[in-house]
Amino acid sequence: ESGLVQIRLPSLFSGYWKKDNKTQKVFTEDGFFNTGDIGKIDEDGFLWIQGREKDLIISGGLNVYPKEVEDAIDSLPYILESAVIGIPHHDLGEAVLAVYVPELGSHAFLHETEAIRILRTKLANYKVPKRFLCLDQLPRNAMGKVQKNILKERYHSLFCAQ
């Protein structure tokens, strides 16, 4: 079963400098630090990180971990990288949207129906994106991390008219 990853160590920092509110939000009363990650422990006792809590998509009442879907999309032919986000949907609460960048020099493009067919063999149906959008590049911050918040703002109303 998946859950929030929390840690407590003797050498763990005691809080954010001059940010008491932020410190209170990430530490439990018994001293555990909430990492913001979602993970699970396997039968051998290993922790597997499934993604960030803030990125979790709840579609039709079911949890979708973007990393799992992104890994499946990235394994498709002609895909360089992808990002998966949840955007508002009138029936599902949130729908899974995949934004991808094709491989450089690739003249082939992703057929949405073919991608959905392949992904249904790798993922549960509710995890398969409802739409795929192609971009030249994904928005990134100065550290090189994909800025999913920008994608969410940009495509927030994609399913509103449907």
Q: Where in the sequence of the chain do the CATH 3.30.300.30 domains occur? A: 56-155
- CA separation for the pair 97, 84 (Å, rounded): 6
- Range 56-155: architecture per CATH: 2-Layer Sandwich (3.30)
CATH architecture of the domain with residue range 2-53: Roll (2.30)
Alpha-helix runs per DSSP H in 41-147: 66-74, 112-119
Q: Which regions of the chain carry the CATH code 2.30.38.10? A: 2-53
pLDDT in tens, 58-102: 999 999 999 999 999 999 988 999 999 999 999 999 999 999 999
Per-residue pLDDT tens digits for 14-33: 899 999 999 999 999 999 99
